[in-house]
Structure 1
Amino acid sequence: MRLNSKGQVTIPADLRHKHGFTEGDEVEVVEDGDTLRIVHARAARSGGERIVARMRGTASTKKTTAELMELLRGE
């Protein structure tokens, strides 16, 4: 990774997904001795909200809403 002229770095996608970071998340840079850590801000979304945000738009079905409801509810 390279620090750009504005002091920004890009976190690789595989690490963002692995650690639950999604677009719009608030992060903090925490000094830990000689190391800087990037962590979720304390006011960040809950774990469940981050999981839903990460999964949103990833479903791969051609079924209609009515067909899915029938599968889920048995109606």
Structure 2
Amino acid sequence: MAESRITSEGRTTVPAEVRSALHLKPGTRLQWHVTPGGEVIVRTKALSLLDLAGLVEADKHVHVEDMNPWR
């Protein structure tokens, strides 16, 4: 069983064997869920549409005429 310790700042390190088994890389986001029974479930966070917001230039407007590939 893997184990880690919480620092006074509330930080912890995911043990190497867990990072390896889950293919976790730096920058991977984790979601923490506490069940009513007090168990903790930790999952990797998949990208949502909201996470993709801002990746494309939103202020660039294209006219319908410019979208026609047969000009």
The TM-score with structure 2 as length reference comes to 0.52
What percentage of residue pairs aligned between the two structures are identical? 20
Structure whose alpha-carbon radius of gyration is higher: 2
* Partner residue, 1:4: 7
Runs of 4 or more off by more than 4 Å in structure 1?
A: none
Unmatched segments (≥5 aa) in structure 2: 49-71
* Partner residue, 1:35: 39
Deviation at residue 34 of structure 1 after TM alignment = 0.6
Deviation at residue 26 of structure 1 after TM alignment = 1.1
Question: How many residues get paired?
Answer: 44
Unmatched segments (≥5 aa) in structure 1: 45-75
Q: Considering Cα pairs closer than 8 Å and 6+ residues apart, tell me whether 1 or 2 has the greater RCO.
A: 1
Q: RMSD value over aligned CA atoms?
A: 1.7
In structure 2, distance between residues paired with 1:3 and 1:24: 19
Which structure shows the higher helix fraction? 1
